[in-house]
Amino acid sequence: MATNYKEELTGVFGYPVAENPTCVMQQAAFEALGLQWRYLTIEVHPESLTPAIVGAKAMGFRGINLTIPHKVAVMPLLDGIAPDAQMIGAVNTVRRDDEGRFIGENTDGKGFLRGVREDAGIDPAGKRIVLLGAGGAARAVAVELALAGAAEITVVNRSVERGESMTGDLVARTGAKASFVPWTNTYRVGSDVDILVNSTSIGLYPDVDAMPDVALDDVSPDLLVCDVIPNPPSTPFLRAATERGLPTLDGLSMLVYQGVIGFQMWTGETPPEDVMRDALKAAFGV
């Protein structure tokens, strides 16, 4: 066989980016399938995003992940944006299409949705949802739940401006039935709620003892309690739910599935999901 040292390039652009763990799972998946692909963790200063995207295209990058602070800023630099990423207002994944164009996607909410359907075994259609948070993760989760037919979405957020803005965009862009509740003191989750999601950053490493201020005294015994925090996957919030006998879904599931969806978009192949999950678990020490 002829020698081929050429690698297909993918990677993440962020600032800061050193602690981004995605390289661990994507590189493990490339190697498990014997693909001559490389996932690079690249620090791109906000002022350098435009030349970085131009350069990535020139070098034939097959895919790019965007993390803080580039998820919104990258949008005008791309050749097209997928409809759900447009509704979310952010791009976390770029794929190169057959014509060499860079298309913006958002796999965060899709990854979350797959966990709800497959790991928790729940169809969000017709369900009543409470979402804690109104940042980028909350927007992605809310749009995908709305597109999946959720009956009602209540956004609970500390900053009124962010919460109202997210809820307004959600209603205008998806037609979902949604309302906003300012998070001023302990939020009591009602007995009619089917799915509760912590989509804030509360509980993220190193703040591992922090927990969203919610009361679960009145909830339905079937309430699905979800957390987007991937590291550590066992958060105080999920542990409190488990102690009450409630079903839970962790943020590691979301992280793995959003990476699986990205891998499929880039390579056209089905990745080894267990390899990706195990690689992340080893990186997180769990």
Ligand X SMILES: NC(=O)c1ccc[n+]([C@@H]2O[C@H](COP(=O)([O-])OP(=O)(O)OC[C@H]3O[C@@H](n4cnc5c(N)ncnc54)[C@H](OP(=O)(O)O)[C@@H]3O)[C@@H](O)[C@H]2O)c1
- Residue ranges in the chain assigned as alpha helix (H): 22-32, 49-58, 83-88, 108-114, 136-147, 160-174, 236-243, 251-267, 273-284
Stretch touching ligand X by CB under 6 A, among 30-38, 113-121, 154-162, 174-182 = 154-162
| Least distance to ligand X, CB of residue 1, Å | 38
Q: Is there binding between residue 171 and ligand X (CB under 6 A)? A: no
Q: Least distance from C-beta 121 to ligand X, angstroms?
A: 19
Given the residues 71, 110, 177, 281, the one annotated as active site: 71
Choice from 11, 89, 124, 133 touching ligand X (CB under 6 A): 133
CB of 54 to ligand X, least distance (A): 26
84 touches ligand X (CB under 6 A): no
User: Does residue 262 touch ligand X according to CB under 6 A?
Assistant: no
Q: Is 137 in the site for ligand X (CB under 6 A)?
A: yes
Helix (H, G, I), strand (E, B) or coil at 252: helix
User: What is the spatial distance between Cα 207 and Cα 210, in angstroms, rounded to a whole number?
Assistant: 6
Nearest one of 110, 114, 78 to 96, comparing CA atoms: 78
Residue 201 engages ligand X in binding (rule: CB under 6 A): yes
Q: How far is the CB of 132 from ligand X (least distance, A)?
A: 7
Q: What are phi and psi of 197, to 5 degrees?
A: -125, 125
Q: Is 141 in the site for ligand X (CB under 6 A)?
A: no
For 239-244, the CB contacts below 8 A with 24+ separation are 240/211, 240/216, 241/216, 244/216, 244/219
State yes or no: is 57 an active-site residue. Answer: no
Is residue 273 within 8 Å of 258, Cβ to Cβ?
A: no
Return the active site residues: 71
